[in-house]
């Protein structure tokens, strides 16, 4: 897999995990926007994996608001791990 393909794949994974955790937390994208200070349109791009300029500051701001470690957002098994933590 090429470097660029890995990058796009990671962005998709991050977006998917943000969406999963946000929904588990029963938080709307509007609420996430207000709490992070990131525009709804950009959050939608992030969740779709299309935010090619996502910076580390925004990444950790989202993680903080979702009350997860940043490593969870890049974990392929985040959904299963989060379910275990969330429901126990």
Predicted TM-score (pTM) of the model is: 0.88
Here the CATH number for the domain that contains residue 11 is 1.10.260.40
Whether pLDDT at 88 is above 60: no
Q: What is the C-alpha to C-alpha distance for residues 22 and 70, in angstroms, rounded to an integer? A: 14
Closest CA to 76 of 13, 6, 19: 13
- Total domains in the fold of the chain: 1
pLDDT band (50, 70, 90) for residue 82: low
Token code pair at residue 74: 């890049």
For residue 33, the model assigns a pLDDT of: 98
Token code pair at residue 34: 């207000």
| Residues 5-19, mean pLDDT to the nearest whole number | 93
| Residues 43-62, mean pLDDT to the nearest whole number | 95
For residue 43, the model assigns a pLDDT of: 98
Domain range for 10 is 3-87
């Amino acid at each position: 897999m090429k470097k660029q393909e890995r990058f796009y794949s990671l962005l998709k994974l991050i977006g998917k995990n943000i969406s999963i955790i946000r929904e588990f937390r029963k938080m709307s994208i509007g609420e996430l926007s207000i709490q992070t200070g990131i525009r709804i349109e950009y959050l939608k791009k992030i969740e779709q994996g299309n935010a090619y300029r996502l910076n580390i500051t925004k990444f950790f701001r989202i993680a903080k608001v979702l009350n997860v470690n940043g490593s969870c957002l890049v974990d392929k098994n985040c959904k299963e791990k989060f379910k275990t933590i969330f429901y126990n």
